[in-house]
Amino acid sequence: MKSYVDEALQAAVKLWDDAIEAKFVERKGKGPDIQISFSTFYHGDEFPFDGMGNEIAHAGPNGRNLKWVLAHEIGHSLGLPHTLEQSIMMPYYGGYEAAEPHLSAYDIDVIQKLYGKLHLLVTGCFGQEV
């Protein structure tokens, strides 16, 4: 199970990492900027979570695609709100998606406004920029 979660987390982080100049680094122990945990606490509906005010997601008993959920929640941790646009940041996720999660043009535009665009230098076969 740990390898499944690690793989899903790496894939979700890579979506955002590929879109902005900021880089994510795994740091174990004290002081991470983003901490991920799996917890259950009562918060007033039939799907309890929270407790410390920092847990921001929950999934029902019918199953969810962990990569999609993690990509969405990482978006929140980076400062993105919910949107009604077709986006990884839509407020409702109806169930398991077989497709790999992806950032929409909207997601990329919003995250780059917050963190800057990723600038790549591409050179041709003769050393010329293209």
Residue 119 sits at φ, ψ, to 5 deg, of -105, 125
Confirm whether residue 89 is marked as ligand binding.
yes
Residues in CB range of 19: below 8 A, 6 or more apart: 103, 107, 108, 111, 112, 118
* Range 64-77 average pLDDT: 87
Confirm whether residue 6 is marked as ligand binding.
no
- What is the domain range of residue 118? 1-130
Residues assigned a catalytic role: 73
User: pTM higher than 0.85 for the full model?
Assistant: no
What is residue 130's predicted lDDT score, i.e. its pLDDT?
A: 45
pLDDT at 119 over 70: no
Terminal alpha carbon distance of the chain: 44
Please state, in angstroms and as integers, the Cα–Cα distance from residue 3 to each residue in 10, 13, 23, 29, 109, following that order: 10, 15, 22, 19, 32
Confirm whether residue 119 is marked as ligand binding.
no
Please state, in angstroms and as integers, the Cα–Cα distance from residue 129 to each residue in 37, 89, 124, following that order: 44, 35, 6
How many domains does the structure of the chain reveal? 1
CATH number at residue 33: 3.40.390.10
Confirm whether residue 43 is marked as ligand binding.
yes
